[in-house]
Amino acid sequence: MMIKQAAYTVLAEGSVTTPLGFQASGLHAGIKRKKKDVGLLLSTVPAAAAGVFTLNAVRAACVTQNEQQLQALPYLQAIIVNSGNANACTGVQGDADAQEMQRHTAQALGLPAHAVAIASTGVIGVPMPMEALKQGITQAAAGVSAEGGEAFAEAMLTTDTCTKQIAVQLTIDGKTVTIGGVAKGSGMIHPNMATMLAFVTTDAKVDPAALQTLLRQTTDQTYNCITVDGDTSTNDMVLVLANGLADNQTLTPEHPEWSEFAAAFRHVSEKLAKDIARDGEGATKLVEVQVNGAVSTSLAVQAAKKVVGSSLVKTAVFGADANWGRILAAVGYSGIPFDPARVNIWLGDVQVAQNGMGLLFDEAAAKAHLQGDTVQITVDLNLGDATATAYGCDLTYDYVRINASYRT
């Protein structure tokens, strides 16, 4: 079964290995107690690459290493990932371990070291168990296949409850082009970036500079519009590989079908971002906050993220309490210029406030909406034409339980 979406088609069971020329594997190496903890993604040919990385001043070794590498040469052929250990705040030894992780992967695949990116996620401040990791890398390299997308997705997980995968197809220059994606993220989520790893693959031929610009623009509209708990991680990154095996003409903004490719690329990223928000630690609901009528898109994003990240709004959603005053208050401390007396607010289709004041609304209908799996909050500032949507989740007892004992 396939779902038609604009100029692209969403595949029912797609993954990062759905595009031509991509293989993957995932296995348990012993970093975590039982679950898969080492994953490997491989392109059979070199691929144009792009990346965005955490803005946290405290950064894991993998983040700095990848960023420097892509600035020097925007091409990759493999990504090695481990979960269970972030290799962050581990000093000089952590830097050396990250470099060894890259070298060992390159050797196992017969590639130059600069063709390999690395990613880690897990506990901060603990030395990486390198012998277990290296053994896992060797096994992962021997086991890559086009059917390995699901195992790779599982190997990335920490406190996630499910994998997050997608693939879409479209036609470029008469050729079938596929874009696949996979992500992990559950807690410590407040991008610029979040404990968020996302990898996007495509068999399209894309100019590396254009790919980097597209990724940065798309990230600002998707991954950077989600928040679970307001904490920005040390390890976050999004990496994109475009290996060109679809044999289309090189995509740049001047290509006549660039907008179609960009729309499909954004759909992949938006779906992954929403899946991360929905799977926030302890979450029971996806919360979507749309701010309309802003002076600029950046201000709309700023307000929407503040509302969706408010602990009081999140707990009200968890309790199905139509407490619209918390929403208006969050806009008030978001730092954007606005007139509270012009603000209108909706919970789903139920308008609960007009011109900054409460309405006599249908409490039962509002509560019913808040009890659903997806909660939509709309705020109209009535100042301009800009709009933006941010994604998050409710705040539950389980979030505290999970994070109170994360190390133990």
Q: Which amino acid is at 104?
A: H
The pLDDT of 146-172, averaged and rounded, is 94
Token readout for 12 is 């029912």
Instruction: Please tell me which residue, 381 or 125, carries the higher pLDDT value.
Output: 381
What is the Cα–Cα distance from 151 to 139, expressed in whole angstroms?
Answer: 13
Q: Is the model's pLDDT at 285 over the cut of 70?
A: yes
Q: Identify the pLDDT of residue 191.
A: 43
Q: Which domains does the chain have, with CATH numbers?
A: 2-278 (3.60.70.12), 286-404 (3.10.20.340)
Active-site pick, 195, 218, 232, 389: 195
Instruction: Please tell me which residue, 94 or 408, carries the higher pLDDT value.
Output: 94
Asked whether the CA dihedral 310, 51, 186, 86 is positive or negative, the reply is: negative
**Across 127-283, where does the E strand assignment appear?**
164-172, 175-184, 197-202, 237-242
The pLDDT of 27-55, averaged and rounded, is 95
Q: Is the model's pLDDT at 3 over the cut of 80?
A: no
Q: Is the model's pLDDT at 283 over the cut of 90?
A: no
Q: Identify the pLDDT of residue 401.
A: 72
Q: What is the DSSP letter of 249?
A: P
Q: Is the model's pLDDT at 17 over the cut of 50?
A: yes
Q: For residue 220, what is the enclosing H or E element?
A: helix 208-221
195 is catalytic: yes
Q: Is the model's pLDDT at 310 over the cut of 50?
A: yes
pTM: 0.82
Token readout for 132 is 């277990």
**Across 207-354, where does the E strand assignment appear?**
237-242, 286-294, 344-347, 350-354
CA nearest 157: which of 182, 130, 132?
A: 182
What is the Cα–Cα distance from 387 to 372, expressed in whole angstroms?
Answer: 24
Residue carrying the six token digits 């401040």:
125
Token readout for 170 is 């479209």
What is the Cα–Cα distance from 228 to 370, expressed in whole angstroms?
Answer: 17
Q: Is the model's pLDDT at 226 over the cut of 90?
A: no
Asked whether the CA dihedral 60, 63, 68, 69 is positive or negative, the reply is: positive
Q: Is the model's pLDDT at 51 over the cut of 60?
A: yes
